[in-house]
Structure 1
Amino acid sequence: MSGPGLNQSFQQRQTQQLMLAPQMRQSLKILQVAALDLRATIQEELQANPTLEEMPMDDVSLEKTTPNNDEGAAPDDDPRAEMDFGKDFQMLEKIGQDWRDHMSDTGGVRQSSSEEEERRQHFYDSLTTETSLQQHLMQQAELADCPPGVLEALRYLVGSLDDRGYLTATLADIALLSTLPLDTVQAASKLLKSFDPPGIGAENLGDCLLTQLQHQGRGKSVAARIVRDHFDLLVRRRIPDLSRKMGLSPEIIQEAVEIIGTLDPAPGRRFADDSNRVVVADVSVEKENGEWQVFLNQDYIPRLRLSSTYKDLIAKGKLSKQEGDYLREKLRSGKFIINAIEQRQRTIERITREIIKHQHEFFEEGVSKLKPLTMTQIADIIGVHETTVSRALANKYIKTPHGVFEMKFFFTSGYQSQAGEAVANTSVKEMIADIIAAEDPGAPRSDQEIVGLLDEKGLKIARRTVAKYREELGLLPSNLRRRYD
């Protein structure tokens, strides 16, 4: 019996909930990652899906790689066989916006009290710098019982590691550089490979994987044999070829490949990262025969296809229902990934072509001719959501005759000149930088004087805006720029 003041009631409520399928999560990830990271993303798919194969460069044909062909991935009447990626991306962006709105409406972000701020600051002040890879290895070296010469060689070896933990020089070169005997350097290399993390000090990816397998006591396993003797087939995920060459069943090969997939291809990266990163352009724009041409960077994108071996297994009808359903689902998933990669490249190309149309004067003359452009404008033209354009531009770079730029660089607000010409704020910044560069060092121009010079060019800009842009350019105010002879 319920107590006084307590009421119980039953209510029926109907709600709608959007579920984000794993495939759609993956397609968004493929759209957003940079060129260098895309290969790692695709390799993850190759490890997880046995029906996907990487084609060698000399085996590329339109017949095998066209994403719109059936490839036996799914029946024509299967609603999951083909998907509208543009609409799917818009749906996902809507989910994200709804979540942000919900957090805002329900107080997801709130002001912290002074006491909470003090505790947070104490936490930040208590943080220590992460141990670098070199420090971690040399701590182990100091504890190792080894001769002084080997310890000295270890210092050279550790100093020759890249951020992945691989050696950037041969042992012979290190011996020559250090003036240490080669056998001492070789002994140091063997000791380094016994350190944590496993795989450190390898000369290449195959050596790294093999070292990790040896650490696990799998030095004579099928996985080790694959890495040691058939590495080229492994990286292309050629399960049938590996099965034939090694005389083992596809199931055993698949199990070994899955073991290899659990290894760390870059053991050094779990430590403090270097803030300097290599920038690789996703797309290049070059002028040929008087016309601007778009060239997508395909160097880091493996060419994939669906395995005919598994399609043939389904076609023969000798599999159990469970096996058949599993392979059909993997084939559908593989086809989705192939389509998502193609969609990514097409989206980047279409956006780049629109950038060229809107920023034609930039490509002809340089940054000073950059015009205002919004992602909404591009989204309306190519028929996708604005946030889809934003995702497609994230972490992407474009190579132009004037240098390599982030693709988002071309999207900026701006001003209208008295002549009716649109001028991007990036171009205004360059004008301010040019004015200051040309000034008399003994009598530098004040922000108000710069306002007057811009007005003469037909641009009416407030003094505080000039000051803001000058500060963003890292330029001092006039009283601090003055030089005395």
Structure 2
Amino acid sequence: MGEENGVIMRSALQLNIKAERRLTFSLALQQAVEILQMPQQELAIWLQNEVEKNPLLEIPEQVGVKEVDDIPHCPSLYEHLCKEMRETFSSHWELKVAEVLIGSLDDRGFLATPLEEIAALFQTKVENIEPILIKIHSFDPPGIGARDLKESLLIQLCRQKEKGSLPYQIVADHFEDLLQGRYTQIKKNIKIAPEELSAAIQKLAKLQLRPAAGFEKSSAPTATADIKAVKIDQEWQIEMVEDEFPLIQIRQDLPSLLPKLAAEEKKSVKHWLISAKWLLRSLSRRSRLLVSLTAHLLKKQSAYLERKGPLQEVGASDLAALLGVHESTIHRALSDKLLEGPWGLISLRSLLSQTAAAEHHKQLLQRLIEQENKCSPLTDEELSQLFHKKGIAIARRTVAKYRKELNVASAVHRKQLHQ
């Protein structure tokens, strides 16, 4: 009887160990997917947090780095706004767009790059960029991110709950007269008393004409590249941009530390060690995959980038077959990644031909609809969310557009058909 109990206990223990390993493996895979999808800046922040959480990870001291005098650091406007950005936005895409918008501000704190150009960089519409810019308008200092002085003053007045007031009306409807000092004309047009105009002008005089005043000049680039490409002797040289990454490693004193630990502590160390090794493997795999992916895209689209030919037909499925990975892995790898080269900064995803990408998305949409619960069909919003889970950023409106092109009815009508 005792022997049977021993066998049962050993079997139960083995099952627990297997279940624990499966869970560890599943969590590690989930982490690898997240690491692959994150753009450079977000990954750098995430790695800093991982070093703080895992006691076996460390950032080695850099050899040859000079010590900086202990002088109080006055943050640049870019640093200040990036801090607010990380507290405001959560999605990879919003963070990347916000970073580009903040990096595009001039010394006054005004947006120096047209929204059309920023939208083109992310291959989206201006109306998808504007909500992010509007959120930046709520950042401090007031008036930041405006496209011109007039918009900056209106933003500042709104922050003071002055929307619709006389000062707001003067800026909104009589801005040129205000700039030229044509106060008599303003008084005549609005039909107000001289003292009312004087009070309004005094209030406007207290607003900031240069929202960025008081901050150090930002040395930030307009955006952060994830990958760089340089052509040397007719060959593309590709490297990951890891300037902002903390150089992490497993603690060098681990071998000497282990013998001093109790049995229970060693179990914890084993858990942290497995986690650290998985993290380092995932980072290495991310770099290898992105370099290989970029190399294939540059080989295919070199003429297009050098303005010698059109964009060639290449889709995520083609790249997946070449690299021996799943198609969803390609989409995650391309997500929010920027490539820097002689042409400037471009979205890596933009090197996929639009027709190939659209065709792939339609095929995937068709499969999702075919597999749905016929009694409770998926709405366009739910389909959009499923695309996002697969690493493909597609808006609800785009899903609706593709669905109509496939001659598929809406969720409401599909449900009626199966009742």
Q: TM-score, normalised by structure 2?
A: 0.43
Q: TM-score, normalised by structure 1?
A: 0.38
Specify the structure having the higher radius of gyration (Cα).
1
**Greater helix fraction, Structure 1 or Structure 2:** 2
